[in-house]
Amino acid sequence: MNLKLQRLPKNDQLQAWDAADTLLLEHIAEKSFNQVLLVNDTFGALACSLTAKSADIELTSWSDSWLAHKASEKNLAANQLNANWQALPSTEVPTTPFDAVLIQLPKTTALLEQQLHALRPALTDHTVIVAAGMAKHIHRSTIELFEKIIGPSPTSLAKKKARLIFPTVDKSLTPPTNKSSKTWSDHGLRLNNLANVFSREKFDIGARFFIDQFSALPPADNIIDLGCGNGVLSICAAQHFPEANILGVDESYMAVASATENYQQNIGDDRARFTTSNCLSDIHDAAADLILCNPPFHQQHAVGDTIAWQMLRESHRQLQSGGELWVVGNRQLHYHSKLRRLFGGSRMVASNNKFVVLAARKR
């Protein structure tokens, strides 16, 4: 790709596009479109390439990732591409009739299911639909999902380990019920989870172990739930500290929407607010004296600790003096050594054979 593309968070070890992007772009190279919906364009590789080819093209980027939208904006600007580009959060539904819908397959089947159901009404007989993914992630069940919700979906051969799917709309088809959202009850909580929310089907065992330690939390007035997911840590913190203000942040639009709804259903007061952010880099006025964090260990399909590092670093910056970061993690992730570098040390609050809960105080 003849473009300067960077991931967000910046990671020079990993490319900001994959062979599926390249194969999709090769496939449509000879075609020209006016209005295109880009679904899950992770770092803006599709937006940048299409704008570089035709400056007049109108692009809507529909994604659950706030980071994906920010990365697309940054990459368009870095390549001096004055794009006709707009971001559409996953919690809204695309309505414009598009002449092409280009889909990067998402990591979870549940998100794909939700997206195909939401897309179907905006598709016409003339919409060109192309989905791209790495062959190892395209299963028989992936193709069946397209066939059940959209219509016949032939596929390409694999090239450089990527493959394309070419769904066509069958207007006579009655799609099955959309089962992508899940509600579960546990620990006296009832939590609704939109399709792409972490621990959508059941209580995460790390989060459960973390919550079991909440009786040992230090008193706090302003609490941040960093990477809030469905809001479970915020809700339990609100039960422990009936006077505290709570700010939950997540880069997933669906997580922020689920956390907002779950807080209202389970607590129902106005002490908490939930917002999209890249870790804490967009938060400036929180005056936090306690940060709770169950960090992610992957971004899309890439496993790594870049985001966890960023969360710990920005927690240190954000905390008031004397404030504490409480973090839960798999034992082998060795967060204690990161906390030693950032905070000068940490104490172990609890551990079992899988997880450890650590607390680090800002001096």
Ligand X SMILES: C[S@@+](CC[C@H](N)C(=O)[O-])C[C@H]1O[C@@H](n2cnc3c(N)ncnc32)[C@H](O)[C@@H]1O
Q: Which residues bind ligand X (CB under 6 A)?
A: 67, 198-199, 204, 207, 227-229, 232-233, 249-252, 255, 277-279, 294, 296, 307
Distance CA 187, CA 114 (A): 28
| Closest-CA residue to 319 (of 287, 284, 346) | 287
The encoded tokens of residue 289 equal 């004296």
Task: Tell me whether residue 18 or residue 250 sits nearer to ligand X (CB atom).
Answer: 250
Least distance (Å) between residue 184 CB and ligand X: 12
Listed residue (54, 8, 65, 5) closest to 28, CA to CA = 54
Please report how close the Cβ of residue 290 comes to ligand X at its closest, in angstroms: 14
Q: How many CB atoms lie within 10 A of CB 16?
A: 21
Min dist CB 227 to ligand X, Å, is: 3
CB of 233 to ligand X, least distance (A): 5
CB of 16: closest distance to ligand X in angstroms? 15
Which pair of tokens denotes residue 226? 């960093």
Burial class (CB within 10 angstroms; exposed 0-12, middle 13-18, buried 19+) of 214: middle
Place of tokens 């034992």: 331
When the beta carbons of 153 and 258 are compared against ligand X, the nearer one is: 258
Q: Which is nearer to ligand X, 99 or 212 (CB)?
A: 212
Q: Which is nearer to ligand X, 230 or 245 (CB)?
A: 230
Give me the helices (H) in the chain, please.
Answer: 19-27, 45-53, 66-78, 109-119, 140-149, 205-211, 232-240, 253-266, 306-318, 335-343
Nearer to ligand X, 9 or 175 (CB): 9
